[in-house]
Structure 1
Amino acid sequence: MPKARMNRALRLAGIMAALGVATPALGQDQRPPFGGPEEVDFAEELWQALEQRGIVGEEAIQTHPYAGTSMHGPVIQYISGTVSVGGRTGTFILKRNYRGEDLSVEETFKNPLRNFDSMGVMFRREEGYAPESRDWFWVKYMPDGMVANTPDGAKMAGKVGACIGCHQPAEGADFVFSHDRFAR
């Protein structure tokens, strides 16, 4: 399948899965390319590695929040770095997502746990893992570290089409909107 067509199919499959709609391109009995046991296991290993580094968990380091402009939420915290998972070291990008009434950057800075909704994490896997998205592994965690579900119950870990589809316009910048320092 040509790359452009594969990217469109992944984007559509992810969006439809996030909405809880069966994906005709995949068939009724096939699952999207994310949320399987291997992806969830890797997401759990990633969480443990991030927790050991103090990036996630109850005592996680905090960064200065800023106003969000995406699906991540009206207020976001951003942190990136490297971490080792299962014997492989890779770059991660984490966004803590905040939602709620009377939400502001200032309030989130003062009380970062108050409206903490979820976290989106990108982790750069080995070359060849997901060439269509520059080998990023995508996962959405709830504040307690559990992998989030789509409305139809699929785990949001692996080659999550909704994440890939949203980040597709940043493909020239390695699927990252704010910079291209992780380009291969």
Structure 2
Amino acid sequence: MDEKQAAFIKKRSVSLELAEKMLRKYIIPTVHEERRRGMKKATVGVVSLLCFSLAFFVFFFVLGTQAKMGMERPMVVKADGKALWDYLKKENYARNWNIWPGKNALYPGKEPHGALLTAYVNKVAYDAIKEKRGMFSDGSIIVKENYTADKKLAALTVMYKVKGYNLMVGDWFWAKYLPDGKIAAEGRVDACIQCHSMAKANDYIMIAPLK
């Protein structure tokens, strides 16, 4: 279990404890009081059911509020070339992910990438683009397919944001794959960093402005 997953479980436990405290402080005493007053068993049962339903509503409401306030997502996959490639295959990104908003398939590219490019993004990255946040969230993945002028796939270049991986360059993990999945480069790739540092104000992204 990584740190992000542990943090998620800890926050969920806090929410459960809050709901349990409310149950003990307000709901259970209410049921006992009604019983003491001599309510019929059926009526007490109805009140109990309503009270427990309220407790569960509070629990899930707190969880939802935490998520909206920016609860950290568990890491998608570890920062490793092979693990990332296996994840991309499992996701079937070319079928299940969105193409970068505003970009078509096989749009014109330039060196050091292909003459033609197609950029796919996972949901985390897609949401950041559509909402014009100006920066990607942890877990964002961008897959750029690099094609030759005659539309032959030559390579895939991937950017994956991992919290704490490389603070100096936006926590980006870079990887380059040949079409068969062989790793040509991965990690803190100097050539990638030098080029993308020119777009530091755009979260090191050169495809399009994020705002």
TM-score in terms of structure 2 length: 0.49
Matched, 1:168 2:197: yes
CA distance in 1, matches of 2:175, 2:81: 7
Aligned to 2:172: 136
Name which structure has the greater RCO, CA cutoff 8 Å, separation 6+.
Answer: 1
CA distance in 2, matches of 1:70, 1:179: 19
Matched, 1:51 2:89: yes
Q: Displacement of 1:123 after TM fit? A: 0.3
Contact persistence 2:107–2:116 (CA under 8 A): yes
DSSP 3-state at the match of 1:179: coil
Aligned to 1:72: 113
* Structure with more strand by fraction: 1
* Structure with more helix by fraction: 2
The structure 1 segments of at least 4 consecutive aligned residues displaced by more than 6 Å after TM superposition are 59-63
Relative to structure 1, is the Cα distance of residues 143 and 60 closer, same or farther in structure 2, using a 3 angstrom cutoff? farther
Give the 5 Å matches for 1:4-19. none
Aligned to 2:181: 145
User: Structure 1: which amino acid aligns with 2:85?
Assistant: W
Structure 1: runs of 5+ lacking an equivalent: 1-37, 84-88, 109-114, 149-155
Contact persistence 1:95–1:120 (CA under 8 A): yes
Q: Displacement of 1:147 after TM fit? A: 0.2
Aligned to 1:158: 187
CA distance in 1, matches of 2:154, 2:110: 16
- Aligned-residue sequence identity (percent) comes to 31
Contact persistence 1:124–1:137 (CA under 8 A): yes
RMSD of aligned Cα (Å):
2.7
DSSP 3-state at the match of 2:157: strand
Deviates further, 70-79 or 156-165: 70-79
Structure 2: runs of 5+ lacking an equivalent: 1-77, 125-137
Relative to structure 1, is the Cα distance of residues 138 and 79 closer, same or farther in structure 2, using a 3 angstrom cutoff? same
User: Structure 2: which amino acid aligns with 1:132?
Assistant: M
Aligned length: 116
